[in-house]
């Protein structure tokens, strides 16, 4: 999944693709540029910046309290 072009404009506050590329680079976003010179951002990269990580990341349960073992 990729972030829509309108959303990239909203995130960066810029409409020109070249300006969006500069903004994304300056803010350390990972992206690719398509044949039209427009930045293409993966949804996972959006999540990394906007919600603090990838939704796909799993957290393992804490089993230390099972069978009387103390944390």
Domains of the chain, residue spans:
5-54
- Residues near 5 by Cβ (< 8 Å), separated by ≥ 6? 38
Mean pLDDT of 20-35: 97
Q: Is the pTM of this model over 0.75?
A: no
Structural contact between residues 2 and 44, judged by C-beta atoms closer than 8 angstroms:
no
Confidence check: pLDDT of 40 > 90:
yes
The reported pLDDT for the residue numbered 65 is: 74
């Amino acid at each position: 999944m990729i972030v829509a072009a309108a959303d990239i404009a909203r995130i960066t506050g810029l409409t020109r693709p070249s300006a969006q590329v500069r903004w994304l680079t300056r803010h350390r976003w990972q992206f690719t540029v398509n044949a039209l010179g427009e930045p293409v951002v993966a949804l996972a990269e959006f999540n990394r910046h906007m919600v603090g990580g990838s939704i796909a990341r799993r957290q393992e349960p804490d089993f230390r309290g099972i069978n009387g073992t103390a944390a």
